[in-house]
Amino acid sequence: MIRDVNQIPDKTASGPFYLEALNPEQREAVVSLDGPVLVLAGAGTGKTRALTTRLAHLLATGRARPWEILAVTFTNKAAREMKLRIGALIGEAVEGMQWLGTFHAICVKILRRHAELVGLKPDFTILDTDDQIRLLKQLIKARNLDEKRWPARRLAGCIDNWKNRGLTPDKLKPEDAESFANGLGAQLYAEYQARLKTLNAVDFGDLLLECLRLFQNNPDVLESYQLRFAYMLVDEYQDTNVAQYLWLRLLAQRHKNVCCVGDDDQSIYGWRGAEVSNILRFETDFPGAKIIRLERNYRSTGHILAAASHLISHNDDRLGKTLHTMDEDGDKVVLKSVWDGEEEARGIADEIEALQQGGHSLNEIAILVRASFQMREFEERFLMRGLDYRVIGGPRFYERMEIRDAVAYLQLAANPDNDIKLERIINTPRRGIGAASVQLLARTARAQGVSMMNAARQLAGTDEIRGRARSSVRELVMNFDRWRGMIETTAHTKLAEIILDESGYTAMWQADKSAAAPGRLENLKELINAMGEFENLAEFLEHVALVMDTETNEQTDKINLMTMHAAKGLEFDTVFLPGWEEGLFPHQRALDETGKAGLEEERRLAYVCLTRAKKRAAVYYTANRRIHGLWQTALPSRFVSELPDDHVISDAGQGQAENYGVSRFDTAQFAAPKSFGHQKAKIIRTSYETAKKASDFQNGERVFHMKFGYGLIEAVEGNRLTIQFDTSGRKRVLDNYVERHP
């Protein structure tokens, strides 16, 4: 949020009151209503304010009525917040904005209206990831593929990837299909899609793709939406994937009043299909687009902003922005070297206690980690000290096993033909219906073209299933028939209680002696509670499918603990950044799998983290870290050396670093750094060279690069080569991505 103290109202401002609180660039972003607009909004530059004001302005000036505006966000949280803030500006009229939501929510809305046109029934179900994996597992098994070598999880990843790129099975190129089971992936993908159709189901990726297909195959439908959406607005544009981009471009063709807001430096979701290039090519797609840069930062003090800006300047692939702050210099970014994770957690807990004693609120303190396993050490330490903390973006409520099971029961009561849900709960709790019986049900259902519930109803009366399985199947069918009959007559919360009770699901957890069981029972109670917020069962189930988080407006004072990714969009007075070590951050896997692009994304992550801090930022790195149960010597992250000396203060704690001698953990090449400041850069360079030897390429050599083709080396700096490529122009690449051309 913006600190109003720092907003410098422009004296020449005139017009509506809400424009007065904006700086000239923000105001430009608000009043440039016609034609395509790209707002490049740096971290902390009042993006959300500009964006919500723009929407309010559209409505207040009568340029558009609420239902003529399409406003898309990525998360439900962002959609909620936007709605709240527009409401604060314009009041009730915000309720009419029925097209404000996530990409997925908007697509569902459109798809339900035109389901038949894409071969679905309007009550199609939306699969969650569990269901998806289960289904894929069946398909892989049916092909007699080795499940170890080709896990369903990985196929799900591939399919997700393809869908993000807008690739339906028919558009898949052989080289794409190669990524799973030597090309079999393409066939499995096609089978999976066919299976979804017969189940009258879609997965998350399909919501976008099917909507896209609907538009492409039905020009009249497309036109009706193009006409309806007089103005379009997209938040976090740097996070859009290809499918979303195509969807937007199609809808914007008519009025071309599309406003995209984003920041290429904050693109941290490349690994799940986000294409920064969507920002880069905006001007090409929408000729005459107006580009507005928001570069006045209202969040961080001078040193923090300077450190972050300098760090991100190491990236080649960026549009380039220069952020300014009117704020004072403030504190320098603190750099701390510690022995290991334990000392790191202890040190941060100490700092937090000191801040707390100084009257600072814990709510204004955050710890941002690269990987979730790093959280444990902090949680243990905080519990020990009695410091309250909350984990942001941890395992989500609706993703918990017991909640998914319970929801599956409810979905099945609402729609007994939902085979996927039936398979999920048919033997949970254990009722003696094993794999063999389930197989039989599935086979019978398939043969007769009916749902498994119907097959179960038939088989319960024959001898094909024996013993306990048979009586259980019969009982289950009868139960569901009864529960279904109660939907109209019983309050949905009451019905949920009855179902969980009579099915034996509650009893299953009551009998469970594991430590997690009481918590699960609590969660089930909470689920019933949450259902009360909805009118009826159907409404609740639609919500569950799309909105995986629950709103929590917790007011108590707690330290915020989260991953770096979860921190995007948030801000805190004080931010602790532990674990800045090579391999952890930047993460080794990012480097291995996507090379330079991966490194730059990690660097953007560092930038996002630093710019979360308003007043204080502290970076920590350990000399030793235990990963997967093994102790490893850690090298300071290269990002540490990319922080500018002028804006950083090195602090070896209470001198602990000096007191440690060389330990059994130290390797010959690297001992824990003894002091910082001027020596910092040198130590790190040494470690680099041991880790990654200087290039043995020379100027004038001809080389080949996987992506850019053949080229001539023009310069060598360490392991970075500047190459003039024959067809792709001049690029700087790392030497391990090229090979000598004979």
Partner DNA sequence: CTGGAGGATCTTTTT
Partner DNA sequence: GATCCTCCAG
Binding site for DNA (CB under 7 A): 74-77, 102, 104-105, 129, 137, 147-148, 204-205, 271-272, 370-373, 393, 396, 427, 430-437, 469, 546-549, 562-563, 565-566, 587, 589-590, 593, 598, 628-629
**Angle of the 204-217 helix axis to the 103-113 helix axis, nearest 10:** 50
Give residue for tokens 């007699």: 144
Q: Could you tell me which residues come within 8 angstroms of residue 645 by beta carbon, excluding any fewer than 6 positions away?
A: 677, 680
Q: Is 581 a catalytic residue?
A: no
CB of 416 to DNA, least distance (A): 21
Task: Kindly name the residue from 83, 318, 612, 625 that is annotated as catalytic.
Answer: 612
Residues facing 708 on adjacent strands: none
Shortest Å, Cβ 287 to DNA: 31
236 tagged catalytic: yes
Considering Cα of 312, then 632, then 719, then 647, what sign does the dihedral take? positive
Q: In this structure, are residues 396 and 549 in contact, taking their beta carbons and an 8 Å threshold?
A: yes
Nearer to DNA, 487 or 517 (CB): 517
Amino acid identity, position 555: Q
Taking the C-alpha atoms of residue 217 and residue 210, their distance in angstroms, rounded to an integer, is: 10
What is the rounded CA–CA span in Å between residue 685 and residue 613? Answer: 28
| Catalytic, out of 206, 210, 236, 263 | 236
- Identity of the residue, 75 or 187, whose beta carbon is nearer to DNA in the bound complex: 75
- Phi then psi dihedrals of residue 17, to 5 deg: -55, -35
Which one, of 683, 635, 675, lies nearest residue 655 by Cα? 675
How far the first Cα of the chain sits from its last, in Å, is 57
CA–chain centroid gap for 405, Å, is 24
Residue 393 Cβ vs DNA, minimum distance, rounded to whole Å: 4
Shorter beta-carbon distance to DNA: residue 147 or 464:
147
**Nearest in space to 684 (alpha carbons), one of 645, 713, 711:** 645
* DSSP letter string, 193-233: HHHHHHTTEE-HHHHHHHHHHHHHH-HHHHHHHHHH-SEEE
Q: Closest separation between CB of residue 535 and DNA, Å? A: 21
* Cβ distance to DNA smaller for residue 435 or 668: 435
Nearer to DNA, 320 or 432 (CB): 432
Q: Which of 589, 404, 656 is nearest to 505 (CA)?
A: 404
Sign of CA dihedral 90, 92, 98, 102: positive
Catalytic residue among 26, 45, 48, 102: 48
Smallest distance from the beta carbon of 552 to DNA, in angstroms?
Answer: 13
CB distance 387 to 353 below 8 Å: yes
Known catalytic residue: 266?
yes
- Which residue reads 């950083």 in tokens? 648
What number of CA atoms fall less than 13 Å from residue 452's CA on the CB side? 21
DSSP strand pairing (389-391 vs 559-563): parallel
48 in catalytic set: yes
Q: Which of 238, 266, 301, 411 is catalytic?
A: 266
Q: Compare residues 253 and 439 and give the one whose CB is closer to DNA.
A: 439
Give 373 or 665: the residue with its C-beta nearer to DNA: 373
| 513 part of the active site | no
Q: Select which of 27, 47, 85, 318 is catalytic.
A: 47
With 0-12 CB in 10 A as exposed, 13-18 as middle and 19+ as buried, what is 14?
exposed
DSSP assignment of 168-198 equals: -GGG--HHHHTTTGGGHHHHHHHHHHHHHHH
Minimum CB distance to DNA, residue 590 (Å): 4
CB of 599 to DNA, least distance (A): 10
Q: How far is CA 197 from the centre of its chain?
A: 27
Cβ-based nearer residue to DNA, 21 or 591: 591
Minimum CB distance to DNA, residue 476 (Å): 13
Q: Which residues are catalytic?
A: 47-48, 235-236, 266, 612
